[in-house]
Structures are given as structure tokens and as C-alpha cells.
Amino acid sequence: MLSAAVCGQIFTSPTPDQIYAAIKAVNQGQGVFLVVKLVAITQSNSENDKQNLVTFDKASNFKFKFRAPIKAGEKAVKYIYTTKDGNKVSGFFIWEMDEEEPTLDLEIPSVTNQPVLHISGIANDNEDGYRVFVDGDNVFTQRSSGNNVNYYPESDQSMNPYGPYTINYDINLDDNNGKPTDHIITVEVDDKLGNVTQKKFNVHFDQNYTGQSEFIPGENIPSPSEEPKVDQPVVSHTNETTNNTDNLDNAITLTLTHNAFVYDANGNVVITDGKNTLLEKGNTISAWHKGQITTFAGKKYV
């Protein structure tokens, strides 16, 4: 439907030469390069080999195939493009693949009488550029050299010239005025291509504990691609009231000894008004099924 009309000349589409002239005028005459030919050195070492010629579709998209590392490595593919002016420009497409998860070696006591827990361990990855997180805090990020071109595992060369990282991190366990507390601690290592290794530790603090602490290697948490999907929400939100006394009989009242976030069925913190939904220490909550612990995505919920 026509909502408005104005007087003016009839518009005619510009010719290709006019378009080229307009583009050329951009950026003080530097313009935008119009590529008329693209060669990717993938099938042979010859620029003139027709097998290396890359074709474009109507939207100027293109694709080509090349031999790549099987599990991990980097591949540099040389390209040469020719502009309408006849100028040739060459460079490299850098392709990288890595299916190997980072390594994480550490042990934490399951019970301790020390108010501050010192975490020490070793994190590493087959490639540089990995990161280390403790309870969500990014405690270390390794630099990425970006120089591992044409790497193949059979070469026995390392793609990580910087090596492992030694974890040294302190966590305060005495957050309830000297009373015994329980903590869930997560340590995570991820690499630049999204491979993740994550471990969870359950630690009990009791300043009066006199026994010998047992060090545990932690529970491996599946990576996101391995986690089971939960289709139904943990809590059904409804505006209706109910007189179902069975549910009330199965509920117990708990007093929070720590600040606690509210999570959804996928283990993500619920956002309210742009902020994380937080239940503060000292609040009371009703837990169904007599406080039975349910685990979703490697985390425990009441």
C-alpha cells in the first residue's frame, strides 16, 4: 500500500562501470577492490591450475576444499585474487582444528579445618591460548602465538610453546562466623576452539575437625555437547493456587546459610530485570520432596 508520494525524476539502475566508478571514489580514491578472479592453492602448487580456481555464486559467496589435519592442527591455504584493475594480491586463509580437551590435574581435600582453602594444580592444553577459571573467575589466560602454520601431529612439534600453568588460588571457606559450611568448587580449563575440561569438588569446612583430610581428584563435569538436555522446567511457573496437601507434606523449610542464585532447568542463573536472581543468606525457602537433591548439568539443586 502506497502511504506517501513525492515528485522527482525516474530512477534508472546504474551500469557496472558507474558502480565501479562510485566504489573507486570511496576512501579518497582507494575505493573497494572488485575481485574478478580468486585462486586458492589447494589442489596443486600452480596458480594457473584450473583446479585451484574458485567460483562465486550470485551473492559473491565462495567455497573450496583442501586437505586438513585429522584431529588437531593448523593449515595455511594461500590465495591470490585479481582485481578489475588487473592487480594481484596474495595472502593466506588460516584454518585450525582441535578436538582434544585441555588437561586439569589437581586434588582438593573433601574435609578441612582451614578457613582458607589453597588450590594448587596443573592446567595445560595441546595448543596455546587456553584459559583457567576457578568458580567462574578467570584466573589465567595464556597468550596465543598464532604462528602454528601447517602443523600436523605426526611432526611431533608442540602447538603450545608456553606449556602448562600452575594453579595457585585461595578460597575463603569460613563465611558463616566459624560454623561448619559446605562448598561446591568448580575449576575449568577451556581452549580457544571451545574444548572444555571442568571438575567439581564438594568441600566441607569445620574448624573443629581433627581427622586426616582425604584429597579427592574431583568429579568431571560433561562438556556442553555431552550434557543431557532437559525439556521440562524444574519449577513450573503458574498464577493458579492449589490446595494439594500432598505437596505441602513433602516440603521442608530450609534456612539459607549462603547467598544462593536461582537456576533454571538448564543450570543457568535466572535473570530478573536484567540482574541475576539472588536469594540472600538467612532467607527461608520451601524445598519439595523433603529437600531431595537433584542434579542437572553437573550441578546440584534442591
Q: pLDDT tens, 127-168?
A: 888 999 999 999 999 987 655 444 444 555 677 888 999 999
Query: What letter represents residue 55's amino acid?
Result: T
DSSP string, 83-151: ETTS-EEEEEEEEEEE-PPPEEEE-EESEE--SEEEEEEEEE-SBS--EEEETTEEEEE-------TT-
Q: Determine the average pLDDT of the residues in 273-290.
A: 62
> Domain with 200 in it: what CATH number?
2.60.40
CA angle 222/270/296 to nearest 5° reads: 30
291 phi-psi bin (left φ>0, alpha ψ -120 to 50, beta other): left
What's residue 239's pLDDT?
35
**pLDDT above 80 (res 43):** yes
User: Do residue 108 and residue 208 come from a single domain?
Assistant: yes
What's residue 229's pLDDT?
40
User: Do residue 117 and residue 216 come from a single domain?
Assistant: yes
Q: Determine the average pLDDT of the residues in 110-123.
A: 95
Are residues 147 and 160 in contact, defined by beta-carbon separation less than 8 angstroms? Answer: no
Spatial distance between the Cα atoms of 196 and 226, rounded to a whole number of angstroms = 11
User: Do residue 163 and residue 269 come from a single domain?
Assistant: no
**pLDDT above 80 (res 15):** no
Spatial distance between the Cα atoms of 99 and 89, rounded to a whole number of angstroms = 33
User: Do residue 256 and residue 293 come from a single domain?
Assistant: yes
28 part of a folded domain = yes
CB atoms within 10 A of CB 22: 12
Closest by CA to 188, choosing from 152, 139, 254, is 139
User: Do residue 206 and residue 118 come from a single domain?
Assistant: yes
User: Do residue 56 and residue 122 come from a single domain?
Assistant: no
Q: pLDDT tens, 231-255?
A: 333 333 333 333 444 444 555 666 6
What's residue 60's pLDDT?
77
Domain boundary among 57, 82, 98: 98
User: Do residue 112 and residue 39 come from a single domain?
Assistant: no
User: Do residue 114 and residue 93 come from a single domain?
Assistant: no
Range of the domain at 297: 245-301
Residue 205 pLDDT level (bands cut at 50, 70, 90)? very high
Are residues 122 and 106 in contact, defined by beta-carbon separation less than 8 angstroms? Answer: yes
Q: Determine the average pLDDT of the residues in 260-286.
A: 64
Higher pLDDT, 245 or 194: 194
231 part of a folded domain = no
Q: How many domains does the chain have?
A: 3
Spatial distance between the Cα atoms of 52 and 148, rounded to a whole number of angstroms = 24
Q: In this structure, what C-alpha cell is assigned to residue 236?
A: 513450573
The helix (run of H) or strand (run of E) holding residue 276 is strand 275-276
**pLDDT above 90 (res 104):** yes
Closest by CA to 40, choosing from 56, 26, 19, 25, is 56
User: Do residue 108 and residue 209 come from a single domain?
Assistant: yes
pTM above 0.85, yes or no: no
Lowest mean pLDDT of 26-35, 44-53, 164-173, name the range. 26-35
